[in-house]
Amino acid sequence: MKLIFAIVNDEDELDVMRGLSQEGYGVTKLCSTGGFLKSGNTTLLIGVDDEKMDHAIEIIKTKSKSRKKVVNSSMIGSSQGAVLTGYPIEITMGGATIFVTDVVKYIKE
């Protein structure tokens, strides 16, 4: 069994969840915040049998769009220090950022 972590844009969340649910996948939604932009996004947890993993990922990819966004560089900071040049920079976000891990044990009572 695998656990898929899919970080998706808030605007894609409903489509992705609906697509997965319609195909019978269980989904848990977590509200999350990206470390770079410090703005909200959505993390979905999907537990799947190994042979279903690629199918589930395909649904997530199909329903997640790539977007361009212009942000002011002075808004971007990190623990290493903020970038304070104040120039607009264009970034391309998404589609989904996906991680897959092995599940050692799955218990549902």
Q: Which two tokens stand for residue 41?
A: 């996004």
Residue 26 or 34 having the CB closest to ligand 2BA = 34
77 binds ligand 2BA (CB under 6 A): no
Least Å distance between CB 1 and ligand 2BA?
22
Nearest residue to 90 (alpha-carbon basis) of 66, 108, 72, 65: 72
Beta bridge partners of 90: 70
SS3 annotation, 3-31: EEEEEECHHHHHHHHHHHHHCCCCCEEEE
DSSP 8-state class, residue 104: S
Least Å distance between CB 39 and ligand 2BA?
6
Residue 2 or 32 having the CB closest to ligand 2BA = 32
Give the residue, chosen from 4, 6, 7, 20, that forms a contact with ligand 2BA under the rule CB under 6 A: 7
Per-residue interface string for the shown chain with ligand 2BA, residues 26-45, x marking contact by CB under 6 A? --------xxxx---x----
Least Å distance between CB 9 and ligand 2BA?
8
Nearest residue to 31 (alpha-carbon basis) of 14, 44, 17, 20: 44
β-pairing, 28-33 vs 40-48, is: antiparallel
Residues that bind ligand 2BA in the complex, under the rule CB under 6 A:
7, 34-37, 41, 91-94, 97
